[in-house]
């Protein structure tokens, strides 16, 4: 499949009908993305070199040439790479990486169970059940963990009532609760792609492996896992990226004690009133994310992001 | 492949080995635990929508008060309606555009694919908040008033890639032979698409549509930046209520959302079953 | 059997739904677009206005001042009425985003409490009309702290490690640090600000969470024992707690804020906006708004009509003397950049 089609004979109508759908079908989408993303991004990229206005807008640059020649135009980027901001980036990336790893570990067995062990007729239900929680408000279902974990929350009430603890446990507003909230919010995005990859797996390969004497673990490690790498990679991307830029979960479940990249950016557009700096931070963050993803796909066997699609 | 399609677990004459059964049971137990984890907050959410106390997680009696308040809360219903409109419009547009794109990209010159792929991947690898500020900036710079259409535009932009990816994945596994056969029989591209490609693609189209619907209805960050006058969506409304004064009315909203969407899915499932897809000829010749 | 064109059905439904929102000519003159804080109005009063004037009032909400500025700056959202806090009014007016109000069209202005009509003291045209106001003090649990409390001290007391809750707000938190050290919360002196920053950094181990939305819930649920927050919310939980929770307006002083009705220059229904403000200035409407929201009205003529439980609550209506120790927040202009850096340093540890 793929490659130049063989020349074909005319059909009953006497013409040779074109075989393939027109490539122009993709142009509306691509144009939309160009207009909706590339252009805005280019605009804010230019804006990231500007000067902030006192009221949060922009200050006109008095002398453009001077601004460029003296390197002043890099002011926002220079600031964004200072110690305190690098620390913020590092923390955000680290939390996102941890979340991704935990999600992967937690999700794979579930996806495996659904794709391999559950009856095919029941699988759609299983998938649906994974997705249904998303049909409530993200804000509220995250906040529900506060009800569960707080001092007078569900868990502590139960523990105290049953006598399993005599002091309420401090389960909230710490890194544990933030990770919990993040993993909770992203888990379905890891389950679904891995499920899709597993479901498409050719079972005969697994049977062959078993026939050749490999135990279940060996089969998994040397056959299943490598074959599902595209699904895993897709899941990793779908979990890692949102986790890097998030701020709601760390605020609600972490008590907003730590400023992360998402908070930093958001601040610039509200209280901080420094849009150009906000744009610079956004670009740096995006660049870091892309760098990491590129490095990750290099590690992954096929080595190219496009092959994941 | 085993006839039942049940997977890879080896069978012996005496049925599935006990060790294998234990493995299966372990996996099942673990998965159920994960499901419980996914639903714990939901259960709490629903439970406390009936709680008489204003706020705390202590049960103080059953009441329907919050549902009554919700019924009278016009702002919420208006927001729900806006959300629904946006979500439906987004789903239709994104699914149509995305499916078309996936098909169109199937056989494109490498140069086009070189441009198309990063473009398509961009919404996914771009942090939402960056996308949100960029869109607001461009709307402001071009003097576009924020309204329903700006939300719709923003939503389609960040959703369409998901459709392309899901449909492309399905397309990759599809056999060209059927379309070739259709073409050989004189079908135009459109007919071939409608009668051969689409039915095979249907699960992917449907699941990506569902995905888009979910993403659109629950979106907070992007929408908060690009919503205009009178276009508060439900997540915005809920978040605003949450920021101001948390009452179980919010729980009531979420419970109703859950019920409504579950009902919708059940309806879709029923519709699906009554809608028959054209049967493709079985392998081995005509029936 | 031909497949039912389910996609077409969906498209049809969408078309029907979208038809309502097709881009259109300027809205009919029978609509008023109001942008206001969440839960900050009386639905009954709005309904009355709608009936009296035969119009529809569309209400969008927000939860922080800067959003108003953003929306008005970007020129993308034509609201007729916005409700910014005092310092935001100044900022918006300076940027030419608010219309100067014609006082002749607002006879009810004389109903306002002069202490709260802050805009009148400034020279130049009036750009806003006070609506509701409040203070930012703190609440504490009397079952955890036996001794009487009247200052900011508990928020810095190591005894309450992990039990203090602060607002997640740069200006408000700096205000606490500054006022408790006897400084003005509007100072632009860098040395003083850095000292305040140090105070807040040292306070970090005591802070359970920074939260601008669920602070009232935290003290109610017992997570926090000393909770920094807005008077409206904290007074409400104090009343509901029957004495377990008490609101304090510290003797060193605190911030107080007046939220005001204003008409953006981009408004499309200016006459209706004036009518709305005039309506809100009526004593019975102002009293109703307070009774429903729990926030004190800036309308002196309305005081007698406010519910006794609210009127007599010092947390809601503090004495003039207590109010005299409070300061309005002012825009810090260029110093905002420094403050933002300091705040980031506090939060990023």
Answer whether residue C202 shows pLDDT above 60: yes
Nearest by Cα to C217 from C231, C242, C234? C234
| C-alpha dihedral, B113 to B114 to B117 to B121, nearest 10° | -170
* Token pair listed for B56: 């705390």
Nearest by Cα to C129 from C142, C140, C118, C144? C118
Answer whether residue C24 shows pLDDT above 60: no
Give me the mean pLDDT over the A100-129 stretch.
Answer: 90
Please enumerate in sequence order all residues whose Cβ is within 8 A of that of A186, keeping only pairs 6 or more positions apart, or say none: A99, A100, A103, A238, A239, A242, A243
Cβ-based contacts of C168 with chain A (< 8 Å) = 251, 256
Interface of C with B (CB under 8 A): 1, 3-4, 6-7, 10-11, 13-14, 17-18, 20-21, 23, 33, 35, 37-40, 43, 58-63, 70-71, 73-79, 212-214, 216-217, 220-221, 233, 240
Give me the mean pLDDT over the B32-37 stretch.
Answer: 95
CA atoms within 13 A on the CB side of A152: 14
User: From the list C221, C336, C344, which residue is nearest A84 (CB)?
Assistant: C344
Please report the pLDDT score of residue A7 as a whole number.
54
User: With contact defined as beta carbons under 8 Å apart, do B261 and A135 qualify?
Assistant: yes
* Token pair listed for C277: 């403000």
Answer whether residue C289 shows pLDDT above 90: yes
Q: What is the C-alpha to C-alpha distance for residues C198 and C342, in angstroms, rounded to an integer?
A: 9
Q: For residue B54, what is the nearest residue in chain C, using CA coordinates? A: C217
* Token pair listed for A24: 């122009």
Cβ <8 Å between A36 and B156: yes
| Least trusted range by pLDDT, from A51-65, A181-195, B5-19, C8-22 | C8-22
Percent of chain A with pLDDT over 70: 89
User: With contact defined as beta carbons under 8 Å apart, do C204 and A256 qualify?
Assistant: no
What are the backbone dihedrals phi and psi of residue C247, each rounded to the nearest 5 degrees, phi first?
A: -95, 140
Nearest by Cα to A44 from B134, B276, C259? B134
- Per-residue pLDDT band for A18 (boundaries 50, 70, 90) equals low
Answer whether residue C19 shows pLDDT above 50: no
* Chain C touched by B145 (CB under 8 Å): yes
Which of the 8 DSSP states describes residue C202? H
Answer whether residue C9 shows pLDDT above 50: no
User: From the list B229, B271, B275, which residue is nearest C60 (CB)?
Assistant: B229
Strand order, beta sheet including C81-82 = C56-62, C31-37, C81-82
- Per-residue pLDDT band for A152 (boundaries 50, 70, 90) equals confident
Answer whether residue C124 shows pLDDT above 90: no
User: With contact defined as beta carbons under 8 Å apart, do C332 and C188 qualify?
Assistant: yes
Q: Tell me: the pLDDT tens digits for C309-326?
A: 999 898 899 988 888 899
- Per-residue pLDDT band for B10 (boundaries 50, 70, 90) equals low
Cβ <8 Å between B116 and A112: no
Strand partners, C230: C136
Site of tokens 């098909």: B103
Cβ-based contacts of B117 with chain A (< 8 Å) = 305-306, 309
Nearest by Cα to C97 from C117, C75, C118? C75
Q: What is the C-alpha to C-alpha distance for residues A158 and A177, in angstroms, rounded to an integer?
A: 18
User: With contact defined as beta carbons under 8 Å apart, do A151 and B43 qualify?
Assistant: no
Q: Tell me: the pLDDT tens digits for A167-186?
A: 888 888 888 999 999 999 99
Count of other CB atoms within 10 angstroms of residue A214? 16
What is the residue-averaged pLDDT of chain C?
86
| Least trusted range by pLDDT, from A9-13, A171-175, C279-283, C318-322 | A9-13
Please enumerate in sequence order all residues whose Cβ is within 8 A of that of B235, keeping only pairs 6 or more positions apart, or say none: A137, A138, A139, B83, B217, B218, B219, B220, B223
Q: What is the C-alpha to C-alpha distance for residues A38 and C276, in angstroms, rounded to an integer?
A: 43
Please report the pLDDT score of residue A3 as a whole number.
45
* Token pair listed for C166: 């602060």
* Token pair listed for C5: 């064109």
Answer whether residue B146 shows pLDDT above 70: yes
Degrees (nearest 5) of the Cα angle C83, C329, C318? 85
Answer whether residue C173 shows pLDDT above 90: yes
Q: What is the C-alpha to C-alpha distance for residues B116 and B100, in angstroms, rounded to an integer?
A: 13
- Per-residue pLDDT band for A203 (boundaries 50, 70, 90) equals confident
Q: Tell me: the pLDDT tens digits for A19-31?
A: 566 777 888 898 9
Q: What is the C-alpha to C-alpha distance for residues A150 and C218, in angstroms, rounded to an integer?
A: 9
Q: What is the C-alpha to C-alpha distance for residues C295 and C297, in angstroms, rounded to an integer?
A: 7
CA Rg, chain A, in Å? 25
| Least trusted range by pLDDT, from B201-210, C24-33, C101-110 | C24-33
Answer whether residue B175 shows pLDDT above 80: no
Site of tokens 């649906």: A128
* Chain C touched by A175 (CB under 8 Å): no
Bigger pLDDT: A38 vs B242 = A38
User: From the list A25, A33, A133, which residue is nearest B104 (CB)?
Assistant: A25
Q: For residue B232, what is the nearest residue in chain C, using CA coordinates? A: C60
Give me the mean pLDDT over the C145-156 stretch.
Answer: 92
Please report the pLDDT score of residue B3 as a whole number.
43
Element (H, E) at C208: strand C207-210
Nearest by Cα to B183 from B175, B192, B174? B192
Count of other CB atoms within 10 angstroms of residue C74? 19
Answer whether residue B55 shows pLDDT above 80: no
User: From the list C38, C60, C233, which residue is nearest B241 (CB)?
Assistant: C38
Answer whether residue A295 shows pLDDT above 80: yes
Within chain A, residue ranges assigned H as helices are: 27-33, 39-47, 64-69, 75-80, 83-112, 123-131, 138-149, 154-161, 175-199, 203-211, 216-219, 225-227, 229-245, 248-254, 261-269, 275-299
What ipTM does the predicted assembly reach?
Answer: 0.83
Cβ <8 Å between A152 and C223: yes
Bigger pLDDT: C207 vs B286 = C207
Answer whether residue C22 shows pLDDT above 80: no
Q: What is the C-alpha to C-alpha distance for residues B38 and B31, in angstroms, rounded to an integer?
A: 10
What is the residue-averaged pLDDT of chain A?
83
DSSP of C176-237, one letter per residue?
A: HHHHHTT--TT---HHHHHHHHHHHHHHGGGEEEE-SSSHHHHHHTTS-SEEEEEHHHHHHH
User: With contact defined as beta carbons under 8 Å apart, do A118 and A126 qualify?
Assistant: yes
Answer whether residue B277 shows pLDDT above 60: no
User: From the list A13, A148, A187, which residue is nearest B186 (CB)?
Assistant: A13
Which chains have at least 3 CB atom pairs separated by less than 8 Å from chain A? B, C
**For residue C336, how far is the Cα from the chain centroid?**
20
Q: How far is B276 from chain C (nearest CA, A)?
A: 6
Please report the pLDDT score of residue C205 as a whole number.
93
Q: How far is A305 from chain B (nearest CA, A)?
A: 9
Q: What is the C-alpha to C-alpha distance for residues A271 and A259, in angstroms, rounded to an integer?
A: 14
Answer whether residue B110 shows pLDDT above 90: no
């Amino acid at each position: 499949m793929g490659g130049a089609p063989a020349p074909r004979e005319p059909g009953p109508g006497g013409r040779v009908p074109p075989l393939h759908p027109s490539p122009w079908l993709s142009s509306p989408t691509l144009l939309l993305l160009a207009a909706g993303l590339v252009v805005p991004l280019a605009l804010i990229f230019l804006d990231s070199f500007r000067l902030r206005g006192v009221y949060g807008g922009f200050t006109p640059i008095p002398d453009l040439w001077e601004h460029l020649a003296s390197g002043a135009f890099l002011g926002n980027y220079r600031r964004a790479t200072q110690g305190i901001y690098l620390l913020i980036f590092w923390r955000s990336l680290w939390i996102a990486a941890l979340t991704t790893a935990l999600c992967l570990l937690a999700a794979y067995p579930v996806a495996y169970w659904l794709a391999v062990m559950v009856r095919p007729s029941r699988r759609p239900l299983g998938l649906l059940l994974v997705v249904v929680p998303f049909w409530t408000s993200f804000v509220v279902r995250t906040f529900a963990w506060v009800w569960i974990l707080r001092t007078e929350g569900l868990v502590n009430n139960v523990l105290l009532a049953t006598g399993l603890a005599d002091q309420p446990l401090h389960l909230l507003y710490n890194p544990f609760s933030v990770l919990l909230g993040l993993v909770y919010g992203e888990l379905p995005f890891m389950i679904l792609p891995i499920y899709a990859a597993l479901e498409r797996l050719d079972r005969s390969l697994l049977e062959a492996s078993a026939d050749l004497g490999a135990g279940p673990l060996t089969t998994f490690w040397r056959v299943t896992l490598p074959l599902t790498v595209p699904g895993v990679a897709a899941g990793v991307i779908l979990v890692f990226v949102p986790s890097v830029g998030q701020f709601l979960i760390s605020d609600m479940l972490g008590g907003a004690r730590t400023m992360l990249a998402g908070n930093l950016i958001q601040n610039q557009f509200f209280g901080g009133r420094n849009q150009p700096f906000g744009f610079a931070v956004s670009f740096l963050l995006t660049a870091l994310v892309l760098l990491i993803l590129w490095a990750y796909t290099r590690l992954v066997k096929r080595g190219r992001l496009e092959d994941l699609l | 492949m085993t006839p039942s399609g049940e997977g890879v677990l080896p069978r012996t004459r005496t049925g599935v080995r006990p060790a294998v059964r234990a493995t299966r049971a372990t996996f099942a137990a673990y998965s159920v635990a994960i499901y419980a984890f996914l639903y714990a907050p939901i259960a709490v959410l629903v439970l406390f929508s009936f709680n008489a106390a204003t706020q705390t997680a202590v049960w103080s009696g059953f009441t329907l008060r919050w549902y009554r308040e919700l019924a009278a809360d016009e702002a919420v219903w208006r927001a729900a309606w806006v959300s629904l409109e946006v979500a439906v419009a987004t789903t239709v547009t994104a699914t149509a555009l995305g499916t078309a794109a996936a098909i169109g990209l199937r056989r494109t010159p490498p140069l086009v694919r070189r441009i198309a792929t990063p473009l398509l991947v961009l919404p996914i690898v771009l942090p939402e908040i960056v996308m949100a500020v960029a869109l607001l900036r461009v709307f402001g710079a071009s003097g576009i008033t924020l309204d329903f259409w700006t939300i719709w535009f923003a939503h389609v932009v960040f959703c369409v890639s998901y459709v392309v990816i899901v449909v492309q994945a399905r397309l990759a596994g599809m056999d060209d032979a059927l379309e070739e056969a259709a073409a050989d029989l004189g079908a135009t591209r459109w007919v071939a698409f409608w009668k051969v490609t689409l039915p095979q693609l249907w699960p992917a189209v449907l699941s990506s549509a569902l995905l888009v619907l979910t993403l659109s209805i629950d979106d907070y960050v992007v929408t908060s930046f690009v919503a205009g006058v009178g276009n508060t969506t439900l997540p915005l409304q809920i978040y605003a209520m949450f920021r101001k004064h948390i009452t179980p009315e919010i729980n009531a909203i979420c419970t109703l959302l859950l019920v409504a969407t579950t009902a919708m899915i059940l309806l879709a499932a029923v519709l699906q079953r009554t809608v028959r897809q054209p049967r493709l000829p079985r392998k081995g010749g005509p029936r | 059997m031909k497949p039912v064109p389910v996609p077409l059905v969906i498209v049809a439904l969408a078309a029907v739904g979208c038809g309502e929102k097709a881009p259109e000519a300027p809205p009919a003159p029978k609509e008023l677009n109001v942008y206001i804080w969440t839960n900050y109005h009386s639905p009954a009063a709005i309904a009355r206005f709608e009936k009296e004037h035969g119009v529809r009032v569309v209400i969008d909400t927000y939860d922080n001042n800067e959003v108003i500025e953003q929306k008005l700056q970007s020129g993308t959202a034509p609201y007729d009425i916005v409700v910014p806090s005092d310092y935001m009014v100044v900022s918006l007016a300076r940027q030419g985003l608010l219309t100067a109000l014609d006082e002749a069209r607002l006879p009810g202005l004389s109903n306002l409490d002069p202490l709260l009509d802050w805009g009148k003291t400034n020279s130049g045209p009036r750009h806003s009309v006070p609506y509701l106001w409040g203070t930012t003090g703190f609440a504490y649990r009397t079952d955890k702290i036996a001794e009487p409390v009247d200052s900011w001290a508990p928020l810095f007391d190591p005894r309450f490690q992990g039990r203090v809750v602060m607002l997640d707000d740069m200006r408000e938190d700096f205000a606490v640090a500054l006022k408790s050290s006897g400084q003005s919360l509007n100072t632009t002196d860098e040395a003083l600000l850095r000292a305040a920053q140090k105070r807040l950094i040292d306070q970090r181990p005591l802070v359970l969470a920074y939260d601008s939305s669920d602070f009232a819930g935290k003290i109610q649920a017992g997570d926090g024992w000393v909770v920094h927050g807005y008077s409206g919310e904290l007074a409400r939980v104090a009343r509901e707690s029957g004495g377990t929770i008490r609101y304090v307006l510290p003797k060193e002083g605190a911030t107080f804020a007046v939220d005001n009705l204003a008409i953006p220059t981009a408004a499309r229904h200016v006459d209706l906006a004036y009518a709305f403000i005039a309506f809100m200035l009526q004593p019975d409407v102002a009293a109703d708004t307070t009774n429903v929201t729990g926030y004190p009205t800036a309308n002196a003529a309305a005081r007698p009509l406010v519910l006794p439980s609210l009127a007599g609550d010092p947390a809601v209506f503090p004495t003039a003397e207590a109010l005299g120790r409070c300061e309005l927040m002012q825009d810090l202009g260029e110093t905002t950049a420094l403050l933002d850096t300091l705040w980031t340093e506090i939060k990023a540890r």
